[in-house]
Amino acid sequence: MSTPSYTPPVTRAMFRRTVIMAGIVTAVGVVVLLLLGYGLFGLFLAVGVALGTLNMWLAVRSVANFATARPSKARFSGSVLGRLAVITVLALGIAWLVRPAGIAVFGGLALFQFLAIVSSMLPLIKEIRQK
């Protein structure tokens, strides 16, 4: 798969902002969990955030490719579902194999999604306030 030639600046900024926020919140979460004696939970929280980051990066690439190459909607949908299936299977495998701490991978995925939503809303809120 070729690298997309163009990604809008707003998309790059949102991705960068989300990753920075996720890194800071994850670092704080890992330190707190370590101090409470739940280091393995902290590790899998970070793994979940990393999976969320990977998913978002792949989604940005996929959308950019869709915009330039114009594949069928069915192929694009299949790509989205395949990516989500792989990440879900990885998360389920971790949660199953490393019980009980592995469940924190889902917390990391949820945390990343929450931060991605917040990061996406910031420019919108700023624009609304300016009008």
Q: Tell whether the torsion through CA atoms of 48, 124, 57 and 30 is positive or negative.
A: negative
pLDDT digits (tens, 9 = 90+) for 97-109: 999 999 999 999 9
Radius of gyration of the chain (CA): 17
What contacts 45, CB < 8 A, 6 or more positions away? 26, 29, 30, 33, 104, 105, 107, 108, 111
pTM: 0.88
Is 43:56 a contact under the CB 8 Å cutoff? no
pLDDT digits (tens, 9 = 90+) for 28-67: 999 999 999 999 999 999 999 999 999 999 998 888 888 7
pLDDT at residue 1, rounded to an integer:
47
pLDDT digits (tens, 9 = 90+) for 65-111: 887 777 788 888 888 899 999 999 999 999 999 999 999 999 999 99
Is 115:23 a contact under the CB 8 Å cutoff? no
Rounded Cα distance between 23 and 57, Å, is 15
* Tokens read off for 75: 């192929």
